[in-house]
Structures are given as structure tokens and as C-alpha cells.
Amino acid sequence: MKNILITGISGKVGSVITAKLKEKYNISGVDLKKSNLVSTTIADCTNLDKILPAFKGIDVVIDLASDPNQYSDWNVIHDTNLLCTSTALEASRISGVKRFIFASSNHATGMYEFDSPYKEIVEGEYSKINKDNLPLINTEMPIRPDGPYGIGKAFGEASGRYYSDKYDISVICLRIGTLNSESAPTNIRQFATLLTHNDLGRLITACVEAPKEIRFGIYYGVSNNKWKFWDTSNSSKDLNYQPEDDAELFR
């Protein structure tokens, strides 16, 4: 069984991943709060010396540690999120971690949602959309962060690229869609952006088990929603990620 360390394990995303994967892998965590599911090192993820012991003997790091509020101001993102990401990458390098899975976000490209046809989709104006000719947002398109939170995630992707090229760590960046506590949409936009708990489990498992030849990649993490506007073809091809859920089931 692979040894997996999850930074920020006690948060919503970390708790879902742990519950879905703890029977398949040896999972441990590092966070300011203890996980109620697995062993946790209590430490500030911005402090390299404090978190470094947790990385010993780890095969895969799933890096979630950050302030999860997409509306946080720049000072919070600068002092927390950027440091959490860079510190986890450095701890991985020092400890010889082979794969680093970074929880990026759809907010790294969130400004596209102010353009047609994505604007109409997030507002639920489906009658204005030609579904058969919908151009999907893919990971080859330029980043367009919609705020400091998205900027921080773009920083993480760039940092991951550097550590992959410089130190030969396999880095997979996931632009995660909307993950809710109850695994269902709570507004119109989320009928396009939902990532269910089960599909998150499938996505992370696909990343853990992806071929070692994948040195760096960016992928959108979203369920198989009827109105999704992010291209997941590369995650299917590279990772064999096959989402099974559709937000329309909750309509």
C-alpha cells in the first residue's frame, strides 16, 4: 500500500478524500487540526521545520493546505496559501516524494465565466446556448484568475512545474470544481461545476495510480455534468479518470 500524506487533511476536501481512500492506502495527515479518521501531525503548514517529519517515507503528497475562502484578500493568500504550497513542495523535495498532487482550483481561470457562452451557463440561461457547439475551457488556454485566491492557485501550478522540471517530481495539478458538504448543487452555477464526493474519490485514485511517466500535468476536476464547460479529455487520456455522476440527477 502506498503511503499518502494529505496536507490540510481536516478540511472539507481532505475529509472526503480520506474517507474515500483510507481503505486502499496508508493515509496520514498534517494540519492545524486533528483528523478524526487517520493519524495527524499537528503543525502549521507554512513552517517547513514543523511539517518536515510528516513527509518521511511518503510516496504521494496530496497538498490541500490553504485558506479555502475564495474571497480572501491578498494578504491572507500571500501569508498563508503561497507559503503552504511552497513549503509542501520543498518538504517533498527534501524527503524524496515521488508524486505531488496539488489542489488547484477552477478559480485560476474563473474570469472566463464572465464571457459568453459560460456566462449564460452559470446563470442557467440554457436556451441561449447551442449545446452541440459549446467550446470547452481547456488547460492549454491562458490562466485568468478571478481574484487573489485564483492567483494563489496559479502560483501553485507554476511552482509545481518548476519542482517537476528541476527536481524530477511528478506533479499533478487539479483545478477542482465545486465540492459541497452534501455532494449536491446549492445554486445554478453548480449544475455545471459540481464535483461529487464519489467522483473526487475516483479522481484522486486516478492521480495516485497514474503512470510514473507523467511528470507534470494540469487537469480539471469536475463530474460528468450535462452543462460542464471545462474540458476533461486530458484527464481521461492521461489519468484514466472516468467521472460517473451528473449534477442533473439533483435538478
pLDDT in tens, 205-239: 999 999 999 999 999 999 999 999 999 999 999 99
Report DSSP state, residue 58: -
Residue pair 222/230 in contact (Cβ under 8 Å)? The answer is yes
Residue pair 108/154 in contact (Cβ under 8 Å)? The answer is yes
Q: Nine-digit cell at 243?
A: 467521472
Q: What is the C-alpha to C-alpha distance for residues 112 and 146, in angstroms, rounded to an integer?
A: 9
Q: Which CATH architecture has domain 3-250?
A: 3-Layer(aba) Sandwich (3.40)
**Nearest CA-CA partner of 64 in 23, 106, 104:** 104
| pTM reported for the whole predicted model | 0.97
pLDDT the model gives residue 127: 96
Q: What is the pLDDT of residues 30-67, one digit of tens each?
A: 999 999 999 999 999 999 999 999 999 999 999 999 99
Per-residue pLDDT at 27 exceeds 90: yes
pLDDT the model gives residue 219: 98
Which residues contact residue 148 at a Cβ distance below 8 angstroms, ignoring those fewer than 6 apart?
72, 73, 74, 76, 77, 78
Domain positions in the chain: 3-250
